[in-house]
């Protein structure tokens, strides 16, 4: 048995988990599907024997379900191991396809590292990298985009919803601008936006999602490609997933991703209403405290499931730890290593002050978050603020 399982019975149920942008708890039905498929359909989907054929049928059914929820063709859906992999395949693979037509690539400054670092790798390989600015709300600047686009541009990546403060990006408007630049491959990282924010995938060239962000399991994602031929393979092997992602397909994971997506889709309208109520409760609850700053105000520009809050002059880590001790889990947005303090790039791109960025935390809801949990969070946060942080902030230390 694993050491950690023997250690102590974890009191998972008594904790309040508000770090759902990092990952969500898999639905029981999703886990049941995973186990059931591993038990009863363990054949290799590429084998032509009976077991292989039934497993392959199941894989097709999972693909079909994902395609129908995302409203795209079945052959445009490819299973991967996570969104990081989907992003890498789309970005590196599309440039490989387009490299004879130009050498400029554009990425927004607020992307997840799986996108930003892929662009930096492309820069190391000789492409000219342009960073797309965002405004103070964290929404990409379309006028800046127009000035960056050239006849040499072959790739643009803008996420659907930002993972640090929840700003919704103008994907449709960008696709309009790109009509004058047909050479550009437009990739969208949909990890934090899928289902929560409407998107018409016919307007983008590729789109990435990860199951564990919507109550699925870790280790499985999807890449949507409007046209398969626009992305070259970047890894090589047995040719699974039309050669785009060689390696024996994890059919149990694919089936469980489809299940998680369907269950989440069924709840999506109710969940949206609930999240708006929760975000309003937090904004109202903190409104009389001048030192508590919200970096994701209540507005159409932001998704309601994420709220980024700062206590300028306090380190985000100290807030996370204080809440942790009271059984509430949220996350920091800037990583602190022993020597340097890395300011969160996405918050920095908005032009927020250093103090604000250092003191920020992210609170994020799941489909299952309850009103009681949010009430407790507000109460505990205010209590910790009064006890530990208010005096420090006011003394200016
Ligand atoms: N893109 C965004 C916006 C994310 O928030 C994340 C995960 O936090 C990823 C990509 C990467 O997802 P995964 O770790 O499942 O590959």
pLDDT one-digit tens code per residue, 262-286: 999 999 999 999 999 999 999 999 9
Atom of ligand 1 nearest to the CA of 192: 3
Cβ contact 51:196 at 8 Å: no
Q: What CA–CA distance (Å, rounded) separates 274 from 294?
A: 19
Per-residue pLDDT tens digits for 333-377: 865 554 556 789 999 999 999 999 999 999 999 999 999 999 999
Q: How confident is the model at residue 8 (pLDDT cuts 50, 70, 90)?
A: low
Q: How far is the CA of 45 from the centre of ligand 1 (A)?
A: 27
Query: Could you give the percent of the chain with pLDDT greater than 90?
Result: 93
Query: Which residue has tokens 């379900």?
Result: 65
Residue 5: pLDDT band (50, 70, 90) is low
Please state, in angstroms and as integers, the Cα–Cα distance from residue 239 to each residue in 207, 249, 268, 328, 349, following that order: 21, 10, 35, 45, 40
The token pair at 140 is 């990409």
Q: Is 126 left (phi over 0), alpha (psi -120 to 50) or beta?
A: left
Beta-bridge partners for 293:
310
DSSP 8-state code for residue 364: E
Give tens-digit pLDDT for 315-338.
999 999 999 999 999 999 865 554
Lookup: tokens for 313: 């002059």
Unique residue bearing structure tokens 């859906």:
77
Distance 114 CA to ligand 1 centre (A): 7
Q: Which atom of ligand 1 is nearest to the CA of 84?
A: 16
Cα distances (Å, whole numbers) of residue 47 to 43, 62, 239, 249 = 7, 18, 13, 11
Q: Is the confidence at residue 10, as pLDDT, over 60? A: no
Distance 395 CA to ligand 1 centre (A): 38
Q: Which structure tokens are listed for 358? A: 């250092």
The two tokens of residue 138 are: 């964290």
Choose the residue to mutate in 82, 114, 212 for probing ligand 1, maximizing ligand atoms within 8 Å of C-beta.
114
Ligand 1 site, CB within 6 A = 82-84, 112, 114, 159, 163, 189, 191-192, 210, 212
Average pLDDT over all residues of the chain: 95
- Closest residue by Cα to atom 12, ligand 1, is 83
Quick one: which atom of ligand 1 is closest to the CA of 85? 16
Retrieve residue 230's tokens: 């626009």
d(CA 251, CA 389): 49
Distance between CA 188 and CA 156 in Å, rounded? 9
* Atom 5 (ligand 1) nearest CA: 163
**What are the tens digits of pLDDT across the range 13-34?**
689 999 999 999 999 999 999 9
Distance 181 CA to ligand 1 centre (A): 28
Which pLDDT score, from 0 to 100, does residue 338 have? 46
Lowest mean pLDDT among 53-62, 101-110, 182-191, 342-351: 342-351
Pocket perturbation via mutation, ligand 1, pick of 22, 23, 79, 83 by most ligand atoms within 8 A of CB? 83
Helix-helix angle 50-70:251-286, to 10 degrees: 30
Mean pLDDT of 211-233: 98
Among candidate residues 384, 288, 284, 277, the one with its CA nearest the CA of residue 330: 384
CA of 218 to the centre of ligand 1 (A): 11
**Token pair for residue 245?**
């992602």
Q: Which region, left, alpha or beta, applies to residue 210 given φ > 0 means left and ψ of -120 to 50 means alpha? A: beta
The pLDDT score that the predictor gives to residue 333 is: 80
For ligand 1, atom 8, which residue shows the shortest CA distance?
22
Catalytic pick among 73, 273, 335, 336: 336
Q: What pLDDT does residue 396 have?
A: 72
Instruction: Give, for 341, the enclosing helix (H) or strand (E).
Output: strand 341-342
The residue whose CB lies within 8 Å of the most ligand 1 atoms, and thus the one to mutate among 108, 157, 210, 211, is 210
Res. 397: pLDDT tops 70: no
Q: Whose CA is nearest to atom 7 of ligand 1?
A: 22
CA angle 338, 362, 258 (to 5 degrees): 110
Dihedral sign of CA atoms 100, 102, 103, 105 in order: negative
- Condensed to tens digits (0 to 9), the pLDDT of residues 132-148 reads 999 999 999 999 999 99
Q: Compute, in angstroms, the gap from residue 264 CA to the centroid of ligand 1.
A: 18
Residues whose CB falls within 8 Å of the CB of residue 9, separated by 6 or more in sequence, listed in order? none
The reply to whether 21 belongs to the active site is no
- If you measure from the C-alpha of residue 83 to the centroid of ligand 1, how many angstroms do you get, rounded to a whole number? 6
- State whether residue 158 is helix, strand or coil: coil
Our mutation pick for probing the ligand 1 site, out of 112, 257, 305, counting the most ligand atoms within 8 A of Cβ, is: 112
Q: Where are the alpha helices (DSSP H) in the chain?
A: 3-7, 28-40, 50-70, 83-98, 113-124, 142-148, 171-177, 251-286, 316-325, 345-349, 354-358, 371-384, 390-395
Phi-psi category of 173—alpha, beta or left, where left has phi over 0 and alpha has psi -120 to 50? alpha
- The count of residues in the chain is 397
């Amino acid at each position: 048995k694993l050491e950690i399982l023997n250690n102590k019975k974890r009191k998972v149920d008594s904790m309040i988990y508000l770090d759902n942008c990092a990952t969500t708890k898999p639905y029981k039905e999703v886990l049941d599907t995973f186990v059931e498929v591993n038990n009863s359909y363990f054949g290799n989907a590429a084998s032509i024997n009976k077991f292989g054929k039934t497993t392959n049928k199941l894989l097709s059914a999972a693909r079909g379900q994902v395609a129908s929820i995302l409203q795209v063709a079945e052959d445009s859906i490819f299973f991967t191991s996570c969104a990081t992999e989907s992003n890498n395949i789309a970005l590196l693979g599309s440039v490989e396809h387009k490299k004879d037509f130009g050498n400029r690539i554009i990425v927004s400054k607020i992307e997840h590292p799986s996108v930003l670092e892929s662009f930096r790798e492309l820069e190391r390989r000789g492409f000219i990298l342009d960073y797309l600015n965002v405004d103070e709300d964290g929404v990409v600047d379309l006028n800046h985009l127009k000035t960056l686009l050239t006849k040499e541009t072959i790739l643009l990546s803008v996420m659907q919803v930002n993972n640090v403060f929840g700003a919704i990006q103008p994907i449709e408007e960008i696709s309009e601008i790109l009509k004058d630049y047909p050479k550009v491959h437009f990739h969208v990282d949909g990890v934090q936006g899928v289902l929560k924010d409407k998107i018409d995938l016919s307007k983008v060239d590729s789109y990435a999602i990860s199951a564990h962000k919507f109550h699925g399991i870790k280790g499985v994602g999807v890449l949507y490609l409007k046209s398969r031929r626009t992305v070259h393979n970047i890894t090589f092997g047995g040719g699974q997933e039309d050669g785009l992602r060689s390696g024996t397909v994890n059919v149990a994971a694919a089936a469980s991703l489809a299940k998680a997506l369907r269950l989440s889709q069924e709840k999506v309208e109710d969940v949206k209403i609930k999240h708006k109520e929760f975000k309003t409760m937090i904004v109202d609850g903190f409104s009389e405290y001048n030192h508590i700053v919200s970096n994701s105000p209540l507005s159409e520009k932001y998704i309601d499931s994420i709220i980024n809050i700062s206590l300028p002059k306090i380190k985000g880590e100290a807030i996370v730890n204080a809440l942790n001790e009271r059984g509430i889990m949220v996350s920091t947005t800037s990583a602190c290593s022993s020597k340097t303090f890395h300011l969160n790039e996405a918050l920095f791109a908005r032009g927020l002050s250093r103090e604000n960025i250092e003191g920020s935390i992210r609170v994020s809801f799941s489909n299952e978050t309850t009103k009681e949990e949010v009430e407790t969070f507000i109460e505990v946060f205010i209590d910790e603020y009064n006890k530990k942080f208010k005096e420090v902030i006011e003394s200016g230390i």
